[in-house]
Structure 1
Amino acid sequence: MTAAPPVPADPLEPVRAAMLHAAHEDADRLLADARRDAAEVLARAHSQAGVLLRAARLRGEAEGIRVAAATVAQARRKARGDLLEAKAQVCDELRQRVAAQVRQCRDEETWPAVRDRLTRRVRHALGADATVSEHADGGVVGTAPGRALDLSLDALVARALDQAGTEIESLWET
């Protein structure tokens, strides 16, 4: 008698083992695919982040340049305004000092002759019928119908300084 072949303990064990082996292979393949996809996504994300970072840096630099240019322009305008204000103050002070010096001529012996000469100039410019009056700070003011002429000492100083404009400008040139 021949002995009967041994009966496996579980006849489905080889099928289960094959299915488990196939499942492990599928899982390994899926895991490898997932890792590859994740690496590609990360690589694209890093690349895109680099592009965005460069673009942001360029925008930041451009904005910095714009802000710096605006700040420089504002500083130049302020400096120009300060310079013009300083020049105006110097001109006003010069005008006041010159006017004060010129007004002192009223105390000199020649003042009556100067006043008469100014009166003649008013009458010559406005006509013999012009009304001429002495100005409180010295000099004369004349009026005629529709016209007036101010030959006060302050007005004469202002005219003289206005005519000397370019020469006065040279005072603050170095």
Structure 2
Amino acid sequence: MTAPADGRTADTDALSPVRAGLLRAAHAEAEALRNRAEQEAAALLDQARAEARDLLDEARRQGEADGADAARDVLVRARRAARSLTLAARREAYRELRRAAAERVGALRGTEDYASLRAWLEQRARALLGPAADVAEHADGGVVARAPGRRVDLSLTALADRATDRVGGEVRTLWEP
């Protein structure tokens, strides 16, 4: 069998529905996570803004007594606190996205299609490392292959992490307006 010019094989095409389903599920999960993250971020921002307003009111009172420098210091602290809360919400949203993606991909082990997926992953590992590569089942599903001086991790967890990493800049849409 000849491989298409883009390097894909018939096995890859056979997995297209599985990949498409995973992508749809991942996008739906990402959308839900994005919505939840937006709500959490909005709540955190509202709280931070309320705290900032309280701090700003206090700064104004101090400013009348102590001058503009004291007010500026309080405002800077409020902005830093708000920024810190925003960044914490972003980190948590990203961690949750990675966890959910790994969980969804890990659920493939319980499907009828897992045997063919695992066989394809083993074939892919041998294509990358050679036919003599030592291929073993990974505890989280998928395979890990070794050849002298080389190792390939095609575990379901690693594949989910790579997919999340490939989303790259799109992840920022979870917390940007």
TM bucket, shorter chain:
0.5 to 0.7
**CA separation of 1:129 and 1:74: change in aligned 2, threshold 3 A:** farther
Q: 1:78 aligns with which of 55, 77, 81?
A: 81
- Percent identical among aligned pairs is 46
> Runs of 5+ in structure 2 lacking a partner?
1-62
1:100 aligned partner, one-letter code: E
CA–CA distance in 2 between the matches of 1:135 and 1:83?
37
**CA separation of 1:109 and 1:75: change in aligned 2, threshold 3 A:** same
CA–CA distance in 2 between the matches of 1:82 and 1:107?
38
CA–CA distance in 2 between the matches of 1:159 and 1:170?
18
**CA separation of 1:68 and 1:117: change in aligned 2, threshold 3 A:** same
Q: Do residues 159 (structure 1) and 162 (structure 2) align?
A: yes
Deviations 1:76-130 (A, max 9, x none): 2222222111111111112222221211111211111111111122122222222
1:113 aligned partner, one-letter code: S
Q: Secondary structure at the match of 2:67?
A: helix
> Runs of 5+ in structure 1 lacking a partner?
1-59
**CA separation of 1:130 and 1:74: change in aligned 2, threshold 3 A:** farther
The alignment's TM-score, normalised by the length of structure 1, stands at: 0.58
- Count, aligned residues: 114
Q: What is the CA RMSD across the aligned residues, in angstroms?
A: 2.0
2:91 aligned partner, one-letter code: A
CA–CA distance in 2 between the matches of 1:92 and 1:144?
32
In the alignment, is the contact (CA less than 8 A) between 2:101 and 2:164 conserved in 1? no
Q: Secondary structure at the match of 1:143?
A: strand
CA–CA distance in 2 between the matches of 1:94 and 1:145?
35
Partner of 1:68: 71
**CA separation of 1:143 and 1:77: change in aligned 2, threshold 3 A:** farther
Alignment of 1:128-143 (within 5 A): 128-143=131-146
2:176 aligned partner, one-letter code: E
**CA separation of 1:145 and 1:68: change in aligned 2, threshold 3 A:** farther
Q: Which has the higher contact order (CA 8 A, sep 6+)?
A: 2
Partner of 1:172: 175
Partner of 2:59: none
Deviations 1:106-161 (A, max 9, x none): 12111111111111221222222222111111111122222222111111111111
